[in-house]
Amino acid sequence: MTALQQQGQAAKDAAYVLSTAGTARKNAALAAIADTLAQHQSQWLEANAQDVAAAKEAGIRPAMLDRLTLTPERIAGIVEGVRQVAALPDPIGRVDKMETRPNGLIIGRRRVPLGVIAIIYESRPNVPSDAASLTFQAGSVCVLRGGKESIHSNTAIVSALHKALTQHHLPTALVSLVTDTTRASANELMQAVGYIDLLIPRGGASLIQTCVNQAKVPCIQTGTGICHIYVDGDADLQKALSVVENAKTSRPSVCNAAEVCLVHRDIAPDFLPQLWDRLVVRRREAGQPPVELRLDPKAMEVLGRGIPAGYDDFDTEFLDYILAVRVVDSVEEAIAHINCHSTGHSEAILTQTRAHADLFTRLVDSAAVYVNASTRFTDGGQFGLGCEMGISTQKLHARGPMGLEELTSYKYVIHGDGQIR
């Protein structure tokens, strides 16, 4: 038995212990986890500083460095997310439906844990706490395999999580960290049939596709976000500028950041120069990274400056201060473009026409579709889920932010009185 198989077996054994814990004990343990994370903030920040220093030395680009970096404010948000999860109703044991059949059998459908959930992720130091709190409350166990970029941060937080679990006499194997950050450990997790019940990758397109293509255990496709904002012909220009700026620049390294802006031809002559001023000129003057606008021929004709969009620019998750821009003739053309190029994550329409909003929300085939709001809200905390395991861009089992409900399955429980068939 390999070291990872031993880790998987310990996780399966711990899952049985958790199944007997009950809601009150789980909530008490989650409260302890939140307190412990807050109390160990300094150790967590020190460990994260080592990861950030190594990333800088390796030449990681600023937008990705931001995703790796922890601050007291971000840790406070992580801790609050754990507390919110503890406050949510426990889904385990809930009966979704029950009916009595003509033969007298009473058939009910009961929520049950998924089991052992493995998460393979890159430079995201918030993942261990989010994953641990959600899987724990959902009655499951998590096996974490982070990237080398965040190994010190991951080790520090898992150590804190273990202290909280020990306080409540729960096995530390409920949350375990794979310290081997080579490809070999990731490949073994993908093929750990009999030990891992579900694999969730969180990272860039390459990581996600590798997991989807190579995993022998069930895998949920998450995260890759080629998110669009369509500015309709009658959109409020000032609101549109604010939304596009927020969606692109607030945190460009995350999956709900906008990568493409579609602009109706009627509004393009007024909107595009103002967009250039907002995202390029003003940001440069303020000492902020300007956004590189990559323009289709119609947008280039309107602006008369900028960078011509390349062949792949409308199919790229930049995760950087880059925005592809295209001028379209109608809302129907915008919808067709999105459904052709989107990864099914998050899309937005900015419009004052109700019929266009209704058409957009009905026909755009993505997990989250917005009307007059930024795509940056596609987040478990913003959706009232406490935190999230990831954003599922597939349709089977889960879609959109994955909270407690999405981390459960169900079984049928049937009561009879001697019926035979």
pLDDT tens digits for range 295-328:
999 999 999 998 999 989 999 999 999 999 999 9
In a domain, 344, yes or no: yes
The reply to whether 48 and 147 lie within a common domain is yes
In a domain, 129, yes or no: yes
The sign one gets for the Cα dihedral 153, 211, 59, 75 is: negative
10 or 393, greater pLDDT: 10
Mean of pLDDT values over 116-130: 90
In a domain, 421, yes or no: no
Strands 106-113 and 408-415: antiparallel
The whole-number pLDDT of residue 17 equals 93
What phi and psi values does residue 107 have, to the nearest 5 degrees?
Answer: -115, 120
Q: How confident is the model at residue 46 (pLDDT cuts 50, 70, 90)?
A: very high
In a domain, 391, yes or no: no
Q: Which two structure tokens, joined as six digits, stand for 154?
A: 């991951």
Q: How confident is the model at residue 42 (pLDDT cuts 50, 70, 90)?
A: very high
Residue 266 scores a pLDDT above 90: yes
The reply to whether 139 and 274 lie within a common domain is no
In a domain, 92, yes or no: yes
Residue 393 scores a pLDDT above 90: no
Mean of pLDDT values over 266-290: 97
| 293 Cβ neighbours under 8 A, 6+ residues apart | 275, 276, 279, 280, 299, 303, 306, 307, 323, 325
The whole-number pLDDT of residue 124 equals 81
In a domain, 395, yes or no: no
The whole-number pLDDT of residue 295 equals 97
pLDDT digits (tens, 9 = 90+) for 68-112: 999 999 999 999 999 999 999 999 999 989 999 999 999 999 999
In a domain, 383, yes or no: no
Residue 223 scores a pLDDT above 80: no
* Amino acid type, 164: A
The domain containing residue 82 runs over which residues? 3-220+402-415
Tell me which H or E stretch contains 95. strand 95-100
The whole-number pLDDT of residue 327 equals 98
The reply to whether 261 and 354 lie within a common domain is yes
Mean pLDDT of the chain: 94
pTM: 0.88
Q: How large a percentage of the chain has pLDDT more than 70?
A: 100
Mean of pLDDT values over 273-285: 97
Mean of pLDDT values over 116-128: 89
Q: How confident is the model at residue 6 (pLDDT cuts 50, 70, 90)?
A: very high
The reply to whether 216 and 113 lie within a common domain is yes
Tell me which H or E stretch contains 231. strand 227-231
Question: CB burial class (10 A; 0-12, 13-18, 19+) of residue 210?
Answer: middle
For residues 250 and 242, is the Cβ–Cβ distance under 8 A? no
The reply to whether 210 and 256 lie within a common domain is no
Q: How confident is the model at residue 396 (pLDDT cuts 50, 70, 90)?
A: confident
For residues 256 and 377, is the Cβ–Cβ distance under 8 A? yes
The reply to whether 65 and 166 lie within a common domain is yes
In a domain, 346, yes or no: yes
Residue 395 scores a pLDDT above 90: no
Residue 250 scores a pLDDT above 80: yes
Least confident piece of the model among 355-359, 385-389, 408-412: 385-389
The whole-number pLDDT of residue 415 equals 97
For residue 290, the domain's CATH number is: 3.40.309.10
The reply to whether 309 and 345 lie within a common domain is yes
Q: How far is CA 29 from the centre of its chain?
A: 24
The whole-number pLDDT of residue 221 equals 82
For residue 152, the domain's CATH number is: 3.40.605.10
The reply to whether 191 and 211 lie within a common domain is yes
Mean of pLDDT values over 383-405: 86
The whole-number pLDDT of residue 387 equals 80
Nearest to 248 by CA among 296, 297, 291: 291
The reply to whether 24 and 70 lie within a common domain is yes
The whole-number pLDDT of residue 211 equals 92
Number of domains in the chain: 2
For the chain, the maximum distance between any two Cα atoms, rounded to a whole number of angstroms, is 81
Q: How confident is the model at residue 202 (pLDDT cuts 50, 70, 90)?
A: confident
